Structure formats: C-alpha cells, structure tokens
Amino acid sequence: MRWIDVADLEALPEGGVLGVEAEGTPVALVRDGGRLYALHDCCTHHEALLSEGYVEDGCLECPLHQGRFCLQTGAAVDGPVELPVATYAVKAGAGRVLVCLERPGEAEEVAAEPARPRPQPAAVEPTPSTAVDPPATIGAPLAERCAWPAEGLTRIPDWVYTDETVYRREVERIFRGPTWNYVALEAELPEAGSFTRSYVGPTPVVVARAEDGRIHVFENRCAHRASEFCRELRGKTGEFVCPYHQWSYDLTGKLVGVPFRRGVNGAGGMPADFDPAQHNLRRLKVTTRRGVVFASYREDMEPLEDYLGPEILREFDATFDGRQLRILGYFRNTLPGNWKLYHENLKDPYHATLLHTFLVSFGLLVAGNRSAMLCDASGRHGVMASAKSDSATVSAENRQEMRAYREGMRLEEPRFMDFVEEFDSPWSVTMQTIWPNLIVQREMNTLGVRHIVPEGPDRFTMIWTMFGFEGDSEEMTRHRLRQGNLMGPAGFLGLEDNEAMKFVQDGMRSGAAGEHMVALDPRIPAGPSDSLISESAIRAMYRHWRGEMGL
C-alpha cells in the first residue's frame, strides 16, 4: 500500500476543501469536524470539480448543480446525482496530507482546531422604488406602465427589453445622447476619400476621410428627401451624390451642389433665400483613439479617455497597443433580442462555464484561472477578464487528460486554443463592453470589434470587424483565423451566446409583465467583482441606464 504526499495540512482549514492531484488522479481533500476525507474530484453527474464546492452537514456539495456526496462513503445523498464518487484513504503526518489510491476512504482524525465561521454575505440594499401599484396597463403613460420592481436592481422588468416607447427613448437619450458611439476603425479608411457605411444607434451614417486626412461622420440621409444616398458598404470617392436628385456633398458632409437651384429659363428653382450652408448633412462630433473612431450627436462630450475611465482605458489600450491594425474581415448577423442583452451577456461571467461546455468538455478551461469583472465608476462600461494560470493546483495538462479521459473527448488540433503572448496585460482574455454600442474582443489572439446596431426593442444587428496587426507573420495571421472558430455567428462559443439571447427574448414573448432576477453576489450591490458567480456588473449597468432614461 502506497501513501502519496499531496498537500500541506495547513492549506486545508477546518470546513475547507482543496483540489489536488495524486499521481494524475484528481482528488478533493476535505477537513470537516476535525477529520480528513479524500474523494475523487469529478462529480459523477456532470463536468464539475467537487473541490470547487462546499462542505456542509457531512457532505461535499457540487458547485454546479448542488449534487451532494457523503464525505465518509462517497454515496450520492441528494440533488441530481445518482452514482457514488470514489473515496480514498487519507491521513495526516508531519504536517502533510497523504492519500492512498488503492484503498477506499476511512476518515482520519486530526488535531482539533476551532471551526472557522463562514462569512455571511450581506443583504443587498434595495434601491428606493418608484413602483406604482396596482400594475399599470398597456396604453398607460410610460412612467406608469414602466415602474421598476420594488426589489431594486436585483430585478429587471421585461419592459426594459420589449417596450417600443422605451426603445425610442433609448435612441434619443442614449445613442443620440451624451455617449461616444463606435463607428469604424481607421484601418478601414486608409486614404483621403476612403469611406465606410456605419451606424450610430439605428441611424445610418457615413464615415469618410477628407482631403486633409481628418475623419468625418455624417448621417447617410440626403438633406433634401431623406434618401439613404450612400449604398456601397465601403470604397473611395471624391464626393457623395444622392442618386435621386443629384444633390452632392463633399467628404465632410457639406452640401456643395443642388441641380437647377435657380430653375430653368428663369422659372422654377429654389427660393431666392435658399442658403446651402444651412443644408449640410447632419454632422457628428468625432474622436479617435489608437485607430478606433467614435462619434457623438452631442457637441459637449467629455474626452473619450474620461468617458471610458481609467479601468476601461487600461484594457482598451492593452488591446489597441499602438500597432497598426490590419483588417481580416467581417461577420454580420441579426439577433432576435434586445440590444442590451449582448452587454449583459458580457457582464455575466456566471454563464461562461455553464453555457459554454465546449471549454469544459475539452479541458480548455482550467479551474483556478484568475478572472475578474471590471467596471468603470459609472457602471456603463465593463471588462470581463481572465488569465491562463500556471499556479493552479492541478496542471492544465493533467486537467485536460482527466477531462478527456472521462468523456473520451479530445480535440485533434488543440493548437488553435494556444495563447501567443503579445499584450501588456495580466489578462489573456478580455471582453470589453463599451457603452453603448461597442464590444472589444480580445479572446487570446483572436481580435475583433463588435458593433451593436439596434433595430427595435427585440432585434439588433451585430457587425464584427476582425483584425490583426501589420507586421503579423503569415503563421500568426493563420493562428488568429483558426482561433476565430471560437467566436462569431458560427463560433463554438459565439453561436451559443446568440442562441441563449434568442431564448431569453422568446421567454418574454407572451407580453405578460414579468421580471428577470439578477441577484448573484449580494455583497456587491452594483460594480466590479472578483467572483465569477456574480451579476453585480449587470446591476451597475442598469443603475446607469435608469439614470439616463429617467425610469
């Protein structure tokens, strides 16, 4: 019988559980009631590590679906589990914990120490409610129809995602309000005369580089009859001419030509006091940073750097690190859901391992990865970040072996998941949600911006611009393209997010007044969190949204 030294006894406090590896076998060590226990670390129900679970009432509870196993016997006690988990003999000696894989468990007593009380989470302070009782009906004024639930930010009412009037107010107060909206990458506008079509909220705009090299953003709507005059997705031109009546505009959006302005043979034409300078295209304020172009309807916008705040700016600059961007191509998809669901999906680290079983099944997600959900002070922007870890108790390699063995699942070409270090950031993955219409994706080496174009309360288009950098080797470009299989409308992760958001919108289709629950992680009422099991960043976004919307 062979005893394997697996851990320092001090690393395992009373009431605690620790994931270790005994010559390749994952083991969950538990110290409970002054005794040691060792169980196989894999839940028999679903892909999950028991060592990430909880010890309670002589049982080890799986973190995923709350299946409970008896510490003493490994028997499935409660929850969805049916099969028992293996137990191993365990003992303490010279301050170390030793397990024997050949013998089933028999708890070992250790010197008693006072039990640590588990910290009790504080209750979330309910936000003062403006709720009006009884519930208002459709057709009532907005303020009555759209009352926020009394519980505060831990509930989101369905009307936030379904109401047409709320949506129209979002267009006015958010997309045409005091926000910087993403419109393009400078790499798409390489020279004077380059232009690309884009959107601010649902409004079509043109982004063009003028003769002096400056970038201009103006509405794609003729000042004469509202025609969306620019029809090419992108290109190069000296001027824009509306095809309907040939009104023409220069690269800054200035009206320069009105055919037959003075009529023909002295008859017809524009009124004598017509002043072309008063009929330019609607022009927006423009700013750029590190090759990313933003526009705003407001003239009084703060600088982009202040708008983002230091936490977000740091990650923005880590991705846009000064290298020239090289466009690799585009995806476009329509999503049958409310545009805010996309922000929420990326402020919701809870779903990552639960929805995306691809990562877990193939052993690509290592428990113990460092991660964080960052927010700016206003709560409107966020960064979901994680880092590949080499300090996890179980090595990534062995974890992969373990998972692959369990399900017979292994990728034939796992190299597409490699991370080539190239950024000045502690994070290997960051998903930046920049309010109101931009997602910056840095999923290891596959990079892109996702542009949200809302089309109503229950539908939006997403335009993905994938990029690498000038100077990338051919192999690096191919690596980015291969890794791109994770994301996008056909990505292993991306398609699941799209499907899940569709399911959420479908769930609200009945029109009955319901509400969502976003109560995870009550110790943080609204703001950044270092826990993945948190919805505090979603609450922070809605704190901001309610202020902007007056709802």
Partner 1 sequence: MSARAAEPASQTPEAWRDPLRLRPEIEAFNVAYARALDQGRLMDWVEFFADDGFYAVTARENHDAGLPVGLVHCEGKGMIRDRAFAISTTAMFAPRYLRHFVSNLHIGAIAADGTVEAESNYLLVQTLHDRPEPKLHQVGTYHDRFVRAADGGLLLARRVCVYDTLLVDNSLVYPV
**Spatial distance between the Cα atoms of 176 and 158, rounded to a whole number of angstroms:** 23
Beta partners for 82? Answer: none
Sign, CA dihedral 472-478-479-480, equals positive
Closest CB to partner 1 among 369 and 477? 477
Asked if 531 interacts with partner 1 (CB under 8 A), we say: no
The correct pick among 330, 406, 422, 522 for binding partner 1 (CB under 8 A) is: 330
Asked if 503 interacts with partner 1 (CB under 8 A), we say: yes
Asked if 533 interacts with partner 1 (CB under 8 A), we say: no
Residues whose CB is less than 8 angstroms from the CB of residue 55 and which lie 6 or more positions away in sequence, other chains included: 15, 16, 17, 30, 32, 61, 71
Asked if 405 interacts with partner 1 (CB under 8 A), we say: no
Closest CB to partner 1 among 64 and 101? 64
Asked if 454 interacts with partner 1 (CB under 8 A), we say: no
Of residues 85-124, those binding partner 1 (CB under 8 A): none
Asked if 393 interacts with partner 1 (CB under 8 A), we say: no
Q: How far is the CB of 245 from partner 1 (least distance, A)?
A: 28
Contact indicator for 326, 472 with CB cutoff of 8 Å = yes
Q: How far is the CB of 516 from partner 1 (least distance, A)?
A: 19
Asked if 324 interacts with partner 1 (CB under 8 A), we say: no
Asked if 334 interacts with partner 1 (CB under 8 A), we say: yes
- Among the candidate windows 24-32, 244-252, 407-415, 543-551, which touches partner 1 by CB under 8 A? 407-415
Query: Total binding residues for partner 1 by CB under 8 A?
Result: 42
Q: Locate tokens 């959006």: which residue?
A: 253
Contact indicator for 285, 295 with CB cutoff of 8 Å = yes
For 188, counting Cβ atoms within 10 Å of its Cβ (0-12 exposed, 13-18 middle, 19+ buried), the class is buried
Longest dimension (CA), the chain: 111
**Spatial distance between the Cα atoms of 454 and 179, rounded to a whole number of angstroms:** 15
Of residues 210-249, those binding partner 1 (CB under 8 A): 233
Contact indicator for 420, 473 with CB cutoff of 8 Å = no
**Spatial distance between the Cα atoms of 524 and 534, rounded to a whole number of angstroms:** 9
Output the six-digit token pair for 414. Answer: 């796992």
Closest CB to partner 1 among 28 and 335? 335
Closest CB to partner 1 among 331 and 469? 331
* Total Cβ atoms within 10 A of residue 121: 10
- Among the candidate windows 59-67, 284-292, 310-318, 357-365, which touches partner 1 by CB under 8 A? 357-365
Asked if 504 interacts with partner 1 (CB under 8 A), we say: no
Asked if 355 interacts with partner 1 (CB under 8 A), we say: yes
Of residues 414-443, those binding partner 1 (CB under 8 A): 416
Output the six-digit token pair for 339. Answer: 């545009």
Contact indicator for 383, 433 with CB cutoff of 8 Å = yes
CA distances from 379 to 196, 296, 309, 527 (A): 31, 20, 10, 6
Of residues 463-502, those binding partner 1 (CB under 8 A): 466, 477-478, 481-482, 484-485, 488-492, 494-496, 498-500, 502
Closest CB to partner 1 among 329 and 426? 329
Which residues make up the interface to partner 1 (CB under 8 A)? 233, 327-336, 355, 357-358, 361-362, 409, 411-413, 416, 461, 466, 477-478, 481-482, 484-485, 488-492, 494-496, 498-500, 502-503
